[in-house]
Amino acid sequence: MIDVKIPALGESISGGILSKWHVKDGDTVTRGQPIFELETDKITSEGQAESAGRISLKVAAGAEVTIGQLVATLDETAAASAAPVAAPAAPAGAPAAAPDAPKNDTLSPAARRVATENKVDPATVAGTGKGGRVTKGDLLAAPPISAPVPGAPTGGAVSAPAAVPAPAARPAATGERSTRSKMSPLRKRIAERLVAAQHNAAILTTFNEVDMSAVMELRKKFQDDFVKRHGIKLGFMSFFVKAAVQALKTVPALNAQIEGDELVQNHYYDIGVAVGTERGLMVPVVRDCDQLSFAGVEKGIGELSKKARDGKIKIEDLQGGVFTISNGGIYGSMLSTPILNPPQSGILGLHNIQERAVVKDGQIVIRPIMYLALSYDHRVVDGKEAVTFLVNLKQSIEDPARLLFAL
- Give the separation between CA 147 and CA 119, rounded to whole angstroms: 10
Neighbours of 234 (CB within 10 A): 22
Ramachandran bin of 342, using left for φ above 0, alpha for ψ from -120 to 50, beta for the remaining angles: beta
Instruction: Specify whether 267 is catalytic.
Output: no
Instruction: Specify whether 378 is catalytic.
Output: yes
Of 22, 27, 270, 378, which one is the catalytic site residue? 378
**Radius of gyration over every alpha carbon of the chain, rounded to an integer in angstroms:** 31
3-state secondary structure of 126: coil
Side-chain half-sphere exposure of 83, counting CA atoms within 13 A: 5
Q: Find out whether 353 and 329 touch, Cβ atoms under 8 Å.
A: yes
DSSP-derived letter for residue 76 is T
Which one, of 370, 390, 284, 297, lies nearest residue 328 by Cα?
Answer: 370
- Give the separation between CA 170 and CA 334, rounded to whole angstroms: 48
Q: Using CB atoms within 10 A of its CB, is residue 384 exposed (0-12), middle (13-18) or buried (19+)?
A: exposed
Per the DSSP assignment, residues forming a β-bridge with 372 are 208, 350
Of 25, 310, 382, 399, which one is the catalytic site residue? 382
Cis peptide before 343, with omega less than 30 degrees from 0?
yes
Q: Using CB atoms within 10 A of its CB, is residue 6 exposed (0-12), middle (13-18) or buried (19+)?
A: buried
Which one, of 123, 141, 142, lies nearest residue 133 by Cα?
Answer: 123
3-state secondary structure of 150: coil
Just list the catalytic residues: 378, 382
